[in-house]
């Protein structure tokens, strides 16, 4: 245990140790993308005079055809949660056309599903990607996701 600059007690420990002690584990993450988005909004206002509110659905087109073309080509560097090589591969195979498709893709690529091999199982026959492209609606033990595709 050591004091913080403000004098509060602080301890650093592995997550398993903290949970075994019955303490609350918090992951405090710094997300650079939030700063990048704030900077983009400021630059849009500075260069165009347009005040963009990313929390206002009227200001953000969730069906932007050109944006989905970029995603389908796996041209996702700089797109939050879609820029890793694994995500680029997955979106290239799933070919998302709607925001719900992107949400499904991101859900498949969380730590738990990745550790269980879910993206690999769901992106090869008889997985999600095949159903996505053939419009076959099935439920499979190897890929236990219900799809709205």
Report the pLDDT value the prediction gives residue 149, as an integer from 0 to 100: 45
- At 73, the pLDDT band (50, 70, 90 cuts) reads very high
Tokens matching residue 12? 């650093």
State the chain's mean pLDDT as an integer. Answer: 81
C-alpha span between 72 and 37 (Å, rounded): 22
Whole-prediction pTM value?
0.60
Mean pLDDT, range 39-67, rounded to an integer: 93
pLDDT > 70? residue 24: yes
- At 32, the pLDDT band (50, 70, 90 cuts) reads confident
pLDDT > 50? residue 125: no
Listed as own residue / partner, the contacts of 102-109 with beta carbons closer than 8 Å and 24 or more positions apart are 102/71, 104/128, 104/145, 104/147, 104/148, 106/81, 106/82, 107/145, 108/145, 109/81, 109/84
Tokens matching residue 102? 């992107």
pLDDT > 90? residue 44: yes
Report the pLDDT value the prediction gives residue 20, as an integer from 0 to 100: 86
């Amino acid at each position: 245990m050591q004091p913080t600059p403000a004098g509060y007690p602080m301890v650093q420990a592995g997550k398993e140790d903290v949970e075994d002690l019955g303490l609350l584990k918090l992951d405090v993450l710094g997300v650079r993308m939030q700063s990048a988005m704030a900077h983009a909004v400021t630059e849009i206002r500075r260069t165009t005079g347009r005040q963009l509110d990313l929390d206002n659905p009227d200001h953000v087109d969730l069906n932007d055809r050109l944006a989905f073309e970029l995603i389908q080509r796996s041209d996702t560097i700089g797109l939050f949660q879609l820029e890793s090589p694994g995500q680029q591969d997955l979106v290239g195979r799933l070919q998302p056309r709607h925001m719900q498709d992107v949400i499904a893709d991101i859900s498949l690529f969380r730590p738990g599903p990745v550790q269980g091999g879910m993206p690999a199982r769901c992106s090869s026959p008889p997985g999600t990607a095949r159903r996505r492209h053939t419009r076959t609606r099935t439920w499979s033990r190897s890929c236990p996701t219900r799809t709205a595709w």
